[in-house]
Amino acid sequence: MEFFEVVTTTRAIRRYLPDPIPDADLAQMFFAATRAPSGSNRQPLRFVVLRDGPKALAARKVLGDSFRTMWSDKRAGDAYDRGSGEDPSSRKARTARTMQHFVDHIDEAPVIVFACVQHWHGGHFTEGASVYPACQNLLLSARALGYGAVMTVWHQVVEKELADIVGLPDGVSIAATIPLGRPEGRHGPVRRLPLDQLVYEDGWSESAPWAIDPEGARFSGGPPRGR
Ligand SMILES: Cc1cc2nc3c(=O)[nH]c(=O)nc-3n(C[C@H](O)[C@H](O)[C@H](O)COP(=O)(O)O)c2cc1C
C-alpha cells in the first residue's frame, strides 16, 4: 500500500477474524516496529507475542477478565447508556456495542502483543516516548499487510498477574497491550480534528496558512470550524 493511504486508514480495529497470522507476516511487522527511534538509541522496548502457548493461554484468560472490568467501569463512568445512548441507533450506543463485543472476545484475538519497557529513568516520560513510536510502527505495518490492531492499556489492573505469567523481570512493565488479526469489516478513514486546529505556526494558536486538510479528509468532533 502507498504510505499516505496506510497512515490515513490505520484505525483502531476491535473485531478480528479467527485466521492465524503467518510467521513471515509477524516477522515483517516486528521488523518494521523495531525500526522506530528511541532516546539515545537505547531500545528499551521488548515485545512479548502471545499466540497459543501455555503462558499465552493463561494470560489471555486474565486479560479477558481485566478488559471486561475496565470497559464496564468506563461504560458506567462515561454514561454510555444514558442520554443519547438510550437510543440504540445513536453513535454512543453503537460504540458501546463495539466495545462490548471487543472485551467479550479479546481473549480470542489471533495474536496479542505486550509492548514492554525496561525502565532506566525512574518512570520519566521519555521512557514511554521510547516505546510508543514502535507501537505505532506496529499498527501501521499491520495495516499495510491487511491486519487490524488497537493500542490498549486495559491490562493495567492485572499487570502484576500478567508479569508473573510471562515472567517479566523487575524493572520491566507493560506499556501497551495490542491485539492483532485480520479485521472483520473494513478499516475506513481516520477522522481527526481539522489541521488548522492542530497545527500552529510561530506561536500558540497562531494559524499556519498552509495547514489545509487535503480534499476528502474526514473529521472528528463535529463539523470543522469555518468550513
Ligand atoms: C495511549 C492509548 C491508549 C489507548 N487505550 C485504549 C484502551 O485501553 N482500550 C481501547 O479499546 N482503545 C484504546 N485506545 C485506542 C483509542 O481509543 C483509539 O486509538 C482512538 O479512539 C482513535 O481511534 P481511531 O484511530 O479508530 O480513529 C488507546 C489509544 C492510545 C493511543
* CATH for the stretch 3-188: 3.40.109.10
- Higher per-residue pLDDT: 164 or 126: 164
User: b or e along 127-140 (b: 16 or more beta carbons within 10 Å of the residue's beta carbon)?
Assistant: bbebbbbbbebbbb
- d(CA 152, ligand 1 centre) in Å: 6
Q: What is the C-alpha R_g of the chain?
A: 19
Q: Considering the chain, what is the average pLDDT of its residues?
A: 95
Q: Which atom of ligand 1 is nearest to the CA of 99?
A: 11
Q: How far apart are CA 107 and CA 58, in angstroms?
A: 10
Q: Which of 27, 50, 26, 43 is nearest to 166 (CA)?
A: 50
Work out the number of other CB atoms within 10 angstroms of the CB of residue 153. Answer: 11
pLDDT of 223 reads: 45
- d(CA 153, ligand 1 centre) in Å: 9
Give the residue extent of every domain in the chain: 3-188, 190-227
Q: How far apart are CA 62 and CA 1, in angstroms?
A: 36
- d(CA 13, ligand 1 centre) in Å: 9
225 pLDDT more than 60: no
Residues constituting the chain = 227
16-25, 51-60, 81-90, 119-128: which has the minimum mean pLDDT? 119-128
Residue pair 49/59 in contact by the 8 Å Cβ criterion: no
pLDDT digits (tens, 9 = 90+) for 143-170: 999 999 999 999 999 999 999 999 999 9
- d(CA 190, ligand 1 centre) in Å: 12
Confidence of residue 49 (pLDDT cuts 50, 70, 90): very high
What the block records as the C-alpha cell of 122 is 525512574
pLDDT digits (tens, 9 = 90+) for 77-100: 999 999 999 999 999 999 999 999
Q: Which atom of ligand 1 is nearest to the CA of 153?
A: 8
CA terminus-to-terminus distance, the chain: 31
pLDDT of 221 reads: 78
105 pLDDT more than 70: yes
pLDDT of 222 reads: 54
Q: How many helices (DSSP H) and strands (DSSP E) are in the chain? A: 8, 6
Q: Which atom of ligand 1 is nearest to the CA of 190?
A: 27
What the block records as the C-alpha cell of 52 is 497459543
pLDDT of 135 reads: 98
